């Protein structure tokens, strides 16, 4: 998997789960790149509701979460005039290709996925779907002839599996699937928990004090940054191994202001001013997103998703035709 530059007019695909609150890690690690990659590329973005079901969920939470996540994506700047925005379960081909992906990835590969190990350690009921999750993710990506997948660093292993699945499929059945070549890593690819900076910021963190929600009020943001764990030596230095808390604040401020976190460290001699500037930068970054989020009506979001699914299906159907043909599935009207 390579990172960095994007080929000219590339197909871009990415997804986000609809459950839990959208947080700063999602925004800085992925969503901001989704927005910038709309320029000059063919971008397809998806609310992956089927992925959320790998862990038992309340149906109401899935339904409202899906609409609210689409609302959030529009609020951060996904533009339906330039990109396709849709819900995974609206395009049935995701399931169909996921099954075929399960036949080309191995039990051993799926067993090595660190996210599966983490999540299954924390769950009482470990569904087969949780185990096969990366095969569905591979299908999401490969169904759109994707070249570029903007994600945070935590998805690296899943992307490598998608790439291996495409290569193996092509080896078995002939050149059929596009092998995704690029993984975007940029500033903000790994935003850590404010209370436990050795862990990534996540929806499932034990304490909400460690996670900044995109819908948090300015007061909450200030409070959470003020209470962020640092250390006792008092030196502002970018050193994620030795100084994870301070480095995380520098990464956040750097990503929010498009500045190199190492260079930023030279501007500060104390933690207080670093925290104050970080909170201010976040508030001015997030406030316009909140305003747009609050002004979007459900009907408009649903209409956008409807149109998005139609456009996504067109691409997915043609790729699936190619895939069915390659694996030897006889078309229904083969007899004429």
Among 154, 164, 280, 325, binds ligand TYM (CB under 6 A): 154
Among 11, 32, 51, 90, binds ligand TYM (CB under 6 A): 51
**DSSP letters spanning 204-227:** T-S-GGG--BTT--HHHHHHHHHT
Alpha-carbon distances, residue 318 vs 162, 197, 290 (angstroms): 19, 45, 38
309 binds ligand TYM (CB under 6 A): no
Q: Long-range CB contacts (< 8 A, 24+ apart) of 127-132? A: 127/54, 127/55, 127/56, 129/53, 129/54, 130/54, 130/55, 132/98, 132/102
Among 190, 224, 243, 275, binds ligand TYM (CB under 6 A): 190
117, 186, 203, 275: the active-site residue: 203
96 binds ligand TYM (CB under 6 A): no
Nearer to ligand TYM, 133 or 268 (CB): 133
C-beta separation of 150 from 12 below 8 A:
yes
Nearer to ligand TYM, 13 or 268 (CB): 13
Q: Which of 160, 165, 16, 159 is nearest to 86 (CA)?
A: 16
Residue 77's Cβ-count burial label (10 Å; 0-12, 13-18, 19+) is middle
196 binds ligand TYM (CB under 6 A): no
90 binds ligand TYM (CB under 6 A): no
160 binds ligand TYM (CB under 6 A): no
151 binds ligand TYM (CB under 6 A): yes
List the catalytic residues: 119, 200, 203
Q: Which chain residues interact with ligand TYM by CB under 6 A?
A: 13-17, 25-26, 29-30, 48, 51, 137, 140-141, 149, 151-152, 154-155, 158, 189-191, 200-202
């Amino acid at each position: 998997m390579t990172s960095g530059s994007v080929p000219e007019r590339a197909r871009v695909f990415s997804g986000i789960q609809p459950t839990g609150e959208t947080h700063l890690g999602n925004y800085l690690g992925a969503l901001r790149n989704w927005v910038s990659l709309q320029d000059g590329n063919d971008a397809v973005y998806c609310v992956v509701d089927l992925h959320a079901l790998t862990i038992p969920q309340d149906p109401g939470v899935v339904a409202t979460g899906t609409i609210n996540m689409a609302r959030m994506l529009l609020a951060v700047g996904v533009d339906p005039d330039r990109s396709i925005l849709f819900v995974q379960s609206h395009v049935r081909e995701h399931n169909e290709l996921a099954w075929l992906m399960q036949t080309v990835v191995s039990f051993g590969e799926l067993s090595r996925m660190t996210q599966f190990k983490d999540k299954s350690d924390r769950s009482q009921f470990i569904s087969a779907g949780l185990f096969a999750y990366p095969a569905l993710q591979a299908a999401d990506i490969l169904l759109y002839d994707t070249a570029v997948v903007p994600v945070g660093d935590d998805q690296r292993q899943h992307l490598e599996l998608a790439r291996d699945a495409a290569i193996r499929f092509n080896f078995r059945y002939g050149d059929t699937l596009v092998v995704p070549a690029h993984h975007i890593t940029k500033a903000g690819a790994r935003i850590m928990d404010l209370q436990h900076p050795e862990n990534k910021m996540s929806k499932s963190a034990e304490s909400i004090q460690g996670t900044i929600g995109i819908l948090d009020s300015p007061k909450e943001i200030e409070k959470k940054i003020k209470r962020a764990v640092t250390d006792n030596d008092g030196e502002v230095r970018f050193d994620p191994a030795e100084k994870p808390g301070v480095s995380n604040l520098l990464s956040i401020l750097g990503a929010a202001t498009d500045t190199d976190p190492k260079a930023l460290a030279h501007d500060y001699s104390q933690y207080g001013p670093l925290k104050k500037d970080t909170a201010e930068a976040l508030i001015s970054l997030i406030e316009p997103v909140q305003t747009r989020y609050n002004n979007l009506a459900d009907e408009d979001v649903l209409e956008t998703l409807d149109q998005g699914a139609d456009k996504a299906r067109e691409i997915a159907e043609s790729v699936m035709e190619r895939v069915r043909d390659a694996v030897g599935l006889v078309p229904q009207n083969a007899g004429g």
